[in-house]
Amino acid sequence: MEISGNPECKDLLNNCLKVFKPFRGTYINIDYALLPRGIAGRVNAEIETTRKRKKPGFFSKGIVRINRRIKNNEFYIRINANLEKIADEQLRREVVTSIIVHELLHIERKDLLEHSKNYRKRKHKKIHSSLEKEALERFNKLRELEGLKPLERENYIEREIVRRVSNPR
């Protein structure tokens, strides 16, 4: 596994990988970036789509088979640059760690391949239905490894993310 990007983010990513199975042969670039208002983090990859057409038979219709795969196993995690401005270092580390765990779960579950169109419409139905609970569980495991107590569902980190992303000042 190869990691590049912002030194602070790389350190937090290495810390987050303790609660995930190893991503073998994977390249992850992590950095702060200007993202639209309301988006805390985003993971991208270059996806290759191939379409194979099967010719129709006498009684059947033609079939189109679509295969998607991630090119070169490269992922790009971007975190909202407004979060970099948080003065309290411990709070910033926890907020960014929470976002990284969320994005790593997208990579682990291969959400990028299955749900590439109409993300906003599908977000709450398919992708995020069980993701929030699992992200909180992984984040709490990470906190336990660091000797901190686990958090409940509604916590100050979520409130801080929403506050910072929607109001950059």
Expressed as residue numbers, the domain containing 63 is: 2-166
Identify the pLDDT of residue 120.
Answer: 54
Taking the C-alpha atoms of residue 37 and residue 126, their distance in angstroms, rounded to an integer, is 23
Residue type, 61: K
Question: Three-state secondary structure along 124-144?
Answer: HHHHCCCHHHHHHHHHHHHHH
pLDDT at 20 over 80: yes
> What total of structural domains would you count in the chain?
1
pLDDT at 122 over 70: no
State whether the Cα torsion 110-10-86-88 is positive or negative: positive
The answer to whether residues 4 and 10 touch, using CB atoms and an 8 Å cutoff, is: yes
Helices marked H in 36-88 — which ranges? Answer: none
Identify the pLDDT of residue 69.
Answer: 83
Identify the pLDDT of residue 140.
Answer: 86
pLDDT band at 30 (very low <50, low <70, confident <90, very high): very high
What is the pTM assigned to this prediction?
0.80
The answer to whether residues 35 and 42 touch, using CB atoms and an 8 Å cutoff, is: yes
Taking the C-alpha atoms of residue 44 and residue 103, their distance in angstroms, rounded to an integer, is 10
Phi/psi for 20 (5° steps) reads: -120, 155
pLDDT at 62 over 80: no
- Please state, in angstroms and as integers, the Cα–Cα distance from residue 136 to each residue in 47, 99, 105, following that order: 28, 10, 11
pLDDT band at 95 (very low <50, low <70, confident <90, very high): confident
pLDDT at 3 over 70: yes
Average pLDDT over the chain, rounded to an integer: 81
Taking the C-alpha atoms of residue 16 and residue 18, their distance in angstroms, rounded to an integer, is 5
**What CATH number corresponds to the domain at position 158?**
3.40.390
Phi/psi for 21 (5° steps) reads: -65, 150
pLDDT at 126 over 60: no
pLDDT band at 155 (very low <50, low <70, confident <90, very high): low
